[in-house]
Amino acid sequence: MKKLLGFILMLPFLVWGGTRKVADIQYSRYCGDHLKRAADANTVDLAITEMDTALTYIESHNLTQGYTNVLWTTPDCDMGFWYKNLTQARDELKAVKPETAMLERTNILMKLRETLLDHGSRGSESVTQPEGISIAPNNLGYALWGWMSGLIGLVGAVLFMVGLD
């Protein structure tokens, strides 16, 4: 009986973890991966298409202002700055005319790449985005759910382990 109760108490935390993973996958699929593709684009038109897709997602999911932090705000979690930076990068791409020289187009694409990607200490690249963006604007709810279900899950884990006798 203790084993069953322990497992039931761990379930909310397991569901929270699964929900976070699904949210991360959905965000990557419909926004983050499109930002990466825009950074990798070889033409201005292709970059615009990818930026438009990502910005449509950002706007439809209300990721245009606020912070992803729960306890305090820091500049790296400012969704307003991030959104404004992305829209200005897209507007710069749209300002390219057919008669724009190839060198200037290449420079704009290089600048876009620098705007969209961060470079890790080991040479890895990742999309520049606020941490926790995949669950925004519901970060507080997810944090409370995680903290509470984590504590209850610890009790459940102890009961589960005691129930193994």
Give the pLDDT of residue 164: 65
Contact 115, 47 (CB under 8 A): no
Name 127's bridge partners.
Answer: 117
Per-residue pLDDT tens digits for 139-151: 999 999 999 999 9
Exposure on the CB side of residue 15, measured as CA atoms within 13 A: 10
Give the pLDDT of residue 19: 97
Mean of pLDDT over the chain? 95
Where do the domains of the chain lie? 2-162
- Whether 23 has a pLDDT exceeding 60, the answer reads yes
